[in-house]
């Protein structure tokens, strides 16, 4: 009996240790999300979504207090795992018919915007005298999916850690600006919900940022924006693999550690739940609480994003890389918007 108990305890220990590591950071992101919901009870603040408030609170905390000791693992878990869970759950709000609304034209716009932005960023980076490694990481982060693409490209091309840290900081900054700028421009640009969702999903950088921005345009915009963004995510693997092969053949691989780009498994989960929603009528007693939980999980992820926004890193490499990041963000935004206006 004693040996059985000891074995069970030893098997539980790693899980308990993981829970202990994650608890402080999860408590912080949960607390920020709860505060964001609470702040909306005050007059004038209700116009702001919990996600907006969560990212602002997180950014203020990080840039005034720095990283709070012991919270790193839980904050990273919120930004990665909880965000991906929320994205998967959005699949329960989308049917196959709604997904098809993106259409061939939308996919073509997404692909063209991605490749054109990556190419233009490398060319302008060379003209500005920005190191090739930094320019490449800024380009993939802007054109594909932010930090995930930067980390994958760094691994595939043997990039440097410092270049990746700067690129992540810059892309996060301009993506955060886009989160607030896009919804403000939807009206003046006379964009329908589907057009706005495609614009946000095809041009805003991080997954969380694109989902947040498109969600401000209404439910249809959120659906189209999520599908468009996940289409870009699906393009990450072939683009990064191709970059790795090109760099290898041209002898441009850096001295950093190389590896294969990660597979976006959460995309499979999103598609599976969307297929389930298309085949089975999900009762409102289930869909309503799931929708509310999804919104709260997204707020936790946005709190984590705010807690990763380090303004000091943005200026650490000087003004030229910063100008390149601004150019890349503006280029993909204007290019995708122009294509949407012309073709849709």
Q: What is the pLDDT of residues 185-230, one digit of tens each?
A: 999 999 999 999 999 999 998 888 898 899 899 989 998 998 898 8
- The confidence score (pLDDT) of residue 261 equals 58
pTM: 0.73
* 3-class state of residue 45 by DSSP: coil
pLDDT tops 50 at residue 292: yes
What is d(CA 148, CA 168) in angstroms, rounded to the nearest whole number?
A: 9
Selected residue with higher pLDDT from 123 and 144:
123
What is d(CA 29, CA 316) in angstroms, rounded to the nearest whole number?
A: 27
As a whole number, the mean pLDDT across the chain is: 85
pLDDT band of residue 1 (cuts 50, 70, 90) is very low
Nearest partner of 150 among 210, 231, 162, judged by Cα:
162
| Range of lowest pLDDT (145-154, 281-290, 323-332, 334-343) | 145-154
Q: Which two tokens stand for residue 184?
A: 């403000």
* 237 contact partners, CB below 8 Å, separation of at least 6: 261, 263, 264
Q: What is the mean pLDDT of residues 121-145?
A: 93
Nearest partner of 299 among 18, 116, 40, judged by Cα:
40
pLDDT band of residue 317 (cuts 50, 70, 90) is low
- The confidence score (pLDDT) of residue 8 equals 46
3-state DSSP percent of the chain in helix, strand and coil, to 5: 80, 0, 20
Instruction: Please work out, in degrees rounded to the nearest 5, the angle formed at the alpha carbon of residue 275 by the alpha carbons of 274 and 280.
Output: 100
What is d(CA 120, CA 130) in angstroms, rounded to the nearest whole number?
A: 13
pLDDT band of residue 33 (cuts 50, 70, 90) is very high
Q: Which two tokens stand for residue 161?
A: 């850690």
- The confidence score (pLDDT) of residue 5 equals 47
What is d(CA 239, CA 274) in angstroms, rounded to the nearest whole number?
A: 26
Q: What is the pLDDT of residues 55-107, one digit of tens each?
A: 889 989 998 998 899 999 999 999 889 988 987 888 887 777 766 778 889 99
pLDDT band of residue 262 (cuts 50, 70, 90) is low
What is d(CA 206, CA 269) in angstroms, rounded to the nearest whole number?
A: 19
pLDDT tops 70 at residue 260: no
Selected residue with higher pLDDT from 47 and 260:
47
């Amino acid at each position: 009996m004693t040996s059985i108990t000891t074995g069970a305890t030893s098997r539980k220990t790693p899980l308990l240790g993981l829970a202990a590591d994650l608890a402080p950071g999860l408590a912080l992101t949960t607390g920020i999300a709860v505060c964001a919901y609470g702040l909306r009870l005050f007059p004038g603040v209700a116009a702001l979504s919990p996600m907006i408030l969560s990212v602002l609170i997180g950014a203020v905390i990080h840039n005034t207090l720095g990283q709070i000791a012991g919270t790193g693992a839980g904050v990273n878990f919120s930004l990665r795992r909880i965000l991906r869970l929320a994205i998967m759950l959005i699949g329960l709000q989308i049917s196959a018919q709604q997904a098809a609304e993106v259409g061939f034209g939308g996919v073509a716009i997404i692909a063209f915007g991605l490749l054109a932005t990556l190419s233009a960023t490398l060319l302008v980076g060379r003209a500005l005298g920005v190191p090739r490694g930094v320019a490449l990481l800024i380009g993939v982060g802007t054109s594909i999916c932010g930090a995930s693409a930067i980390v994958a490209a760094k691994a595939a091309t043997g990039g440097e850690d410092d270049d990746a840290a700067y690129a992540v900081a810059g892309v996060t900054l301009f993506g955060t600006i886009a989160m607030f700028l896009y919804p403000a421009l939807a009206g003046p640009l006379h964009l329908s919900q589907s057009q706005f969702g495609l614009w946000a999903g095809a041009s805003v950088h991080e997954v969380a940022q694109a989902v947040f921005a498109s969600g401000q345009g209404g439910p249809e915009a959120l659906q189209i924006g999520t599908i468009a963004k996940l289409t870009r995510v699906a393009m990450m693997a072939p683009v990064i693999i191709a970059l790795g092969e090109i760099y290898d053949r041209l002898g441009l691989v850096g001295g950093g550690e190389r590896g294969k780009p990660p597979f976006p498994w959460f995309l499979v989960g999103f598609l599976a739940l969307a297929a389930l929603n298309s085949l089975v009528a999900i009762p409102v007693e289930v869909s309503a609480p799931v929708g509310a939980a999804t919104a709260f999980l997204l707020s936790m992820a946005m709190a984590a994003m705010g807690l990763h926004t380090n303004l000091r890193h943005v200026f650490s490499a000087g003004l030229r890389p910063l100008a390149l990041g601004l150019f890349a963000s503006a280029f993909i935004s204007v290019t995708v918007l122009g294509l949407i206006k012309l073709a849709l």
